[in-house]
Structure 1
């Protein structure tokens, strides 16, 4: 962005206001007064205005006494030295404060980074544990599936055995029917057949009871195996969810470590900015020193001009004795200064 331009009238008016307030007129004071602009250009415009006024105005001005001029020079020199020392001290404090702050932030960032690395290691261990648990769950599920297959095979075998029993029952019933038909032919055979039929019925009842018990047991085993398979499936799903959560936490830890590295870089940039500001302060102090030297030079030139003016006035008032006028004038002036 280009700096705001200000006219010479605005700069001169600001300088006159500062002069009326009794403040030193510097480039930075003019800039603060008008709200912007280049301090060097503002001071240059004001110096040109002062020079033009010094040329156009020839009115006599009261000279500063020697003691006052010496005091002004001493104060100016002391002020310049104090400003330089203050600039050096401020620069040293700013650099030390920036270095201390950068060191503290770097230590804090190192601790946070170490904490993040420890959390990342814990998350990795958790992921490994969950993966091992997942493998165990898979093994248990495979075992249950194998048990379910065995139960199904056993149930099929029991079903085949039940079918064979039913076939034997059918055959026994046919035998009983044949014995009943042959009852009229042979009573003894009928009696034996009746006994055999009773025995067969008892055996049939036992076989039916065994078959029903086997079928109930098979159904209970199948239900238990199905429930266990469902529980293992739910546990497998929960383990997978926990593993995903652990992976997400590990990703968050990596992001926090990246943010901490970004904060360290930002603080380093702030330290570099503080150093640049310190260099700028040194440059401003040098500008102030140059301005003070310029003020001393102007004061010396003004004293010389006043001396020449007094000499001219003495020569005009006493043209008959020019050789004695200057010493008496100088003596009177020294007497006034001493009084």
Structure 2
């Protein structure tokens, strides 16, 4: 057990002092005056010692003292009690004043601290509102980035569809050129006896060669466009990864606002570059489609020219057959021999029968 820090005599003297000050004796008043001990024990000891009666009673004087000495002792004891009461009252008042002063100082400090806490809470509230507003702005920007990403994905799909259509058109154009080549070969065999159409045939051949060269250029352009589309897919995948990382960093926006803003600016620049690349790809695709349209028009013109040449050949053959039918057998044989000898001789031999055929009509 802990040793008793307050003796019974100290408790009794404290009770006497409180009685002298006119205060009620309680365990807490004894505890405040002594500065130690349990209030219940202090009050129990005070009551066991006789309380107020014991405090007011004076010790019996020895029977051997003279009456004068006893009177003087009583007076001295009374004066001592009065002095003790005055001294304890002054000490108690000084203690109360010191406690009040300290209480006022502590109250002022607490009020100042409370004001600081309220100011800090207001500042934190303002910072929280600013962070919330910035978080809302980041979420709106992120939603815009997602919309732009969706639009870019749609443009990529449209570009892929256009590339597929361009491949189909190129394949059709290749088949058309091959068919035109075969038709030109057949026309060349049929028109070997017509030197006048040789120049047109050479023009058609040059057109075919130009179409083949254009087709080769388009194939190279398609390969370049395919590579660019692959690069755009890679950039799109990178942008998707950046968007995913940005979603994760958005949860830490309250503590990393500046970093999120810089990364968002980088993502916007990357998205702008991707949009520019997509626009350039679209422009090259439009150019390629224009070239394909030109090649289709050239192929149609070549087909029309071939039809015109075929019609001229059939008309010449019909005219030759008509002339042979209108001539006598001997002249017809001569005309066939002349036509076999050369186109110029056939032309010269075919002119007189035309003039002689008029009177027969």
Query: TM-score range with shorter-chain normalisation?
Result: 0.5 to 0.7
Separation in 2, partners of 1:25, 1:134: 76
* Counterpart position of 1:160: 165
* Counterpart position of 1:308: none
Count the aligned residue pairs: 224
Counterpart selection for 2:222 from 201, 211, 232 = 211
Kindly state the Cα deviation for residue 81 of structure 1 after the two structures are TM-superposed. Answer: 1.8
| 2:238 equivalent to 1:227 | yes
Separation in 2, partners of 1:176, 1:40: 134
Gaps of 5+ in 2: 1-6, 17-29, 258-361
Separation in 1, partners of 2:147, 2:52: 95
Deviations 1:31-54 (A, max 9, x none): 99x993514422218967x99x96
Residues 159, 243 of structure 1: alpha-carbon distance in 2 compared, 3 angstrom cutoff: farther
Residues 78, 28 of structure 1: alpha-carbon distance in 2 compared, 3 angstrom cutoff: closer
Contact in 2 for aligned 1:130/1:242 (Cα 8 Å): yes
Alignment of 1:2-41 (within 5 A): 26=13, 36=41, 38-41=44-47
* Counterpart position of 2:142: 137
Gaps of 5+ in 1: 1-13, 247-339
* Counterpart position of 1:108: 113
Alignment of 1:236-247 (within 5 A): 236-243=247-254
Contact in 1 for aligned 2:12/2:46 (Cα 8 Å): no
SS state of the match for residue 241, structure 1?
Answer: coil
* Counterpart position of 2:260: none
Kindly state the Cα deviation for residue 101 of structure 1 after the two structures are TM-superposed. Answer: 0.9
Higher relative contact order structure (alpha carbons within 8 Å, sequence separation ≥ 6): 1
Deviations 1:141-178 (A, max 9, x none): 31232133123213312321221111110232233345
Separation in 2, partners of 1:65, 1:152: 124
Contact in 2 for aligned 1:138/1:236 (Cα 8 Å): no
Q: TM-score, normalised by structure 1?
A: 0.53
Q: What root-mean-square deviation, in Å, do the aligned CA atoms of Structure 1 and Structure 2 show?
A: 4.2
Residues 26, 160 of structure 1: alpha-carbon distance in 2 compared, 3 angstrom cutoff: same
Contact in 2 for aligned 1:134/1:240 (Cα 8 Å): no
Contact in 2 for aligned 1:172/1:200 (Cα 8 Å): yes
* Counterpart position of 2:122: 117
Separation in 2, partners of 1:229, 1:58: 108
Separation in 1, partners of 2:12, 2:210: 136
Kindly state the Cα deviation for residue 239 of structure 1 after the two structures are TM-superposed. Answer: 2.4
Contact in 2 for aligned 1:145/1:229 (Cα 8 Å): no
* Counterpart position of 1:42: 48
Residues 172, 220 of structure 1: alpha-carbon distance in 2 compared, 3 angstrom cutoff: same
Contact in 2 for aligned 1:172/1:197 (Cα 8 Å): yes
* Counterpart position of 1:294: none
* Counterpart position of 2:83: 78
* Counterpart position of 1:5: none
Alignment of 1:55-74 (within 5 A): 59-63=63-67, 64=69, 66-74=71-79
Rg (Cα) greater in structure: 2
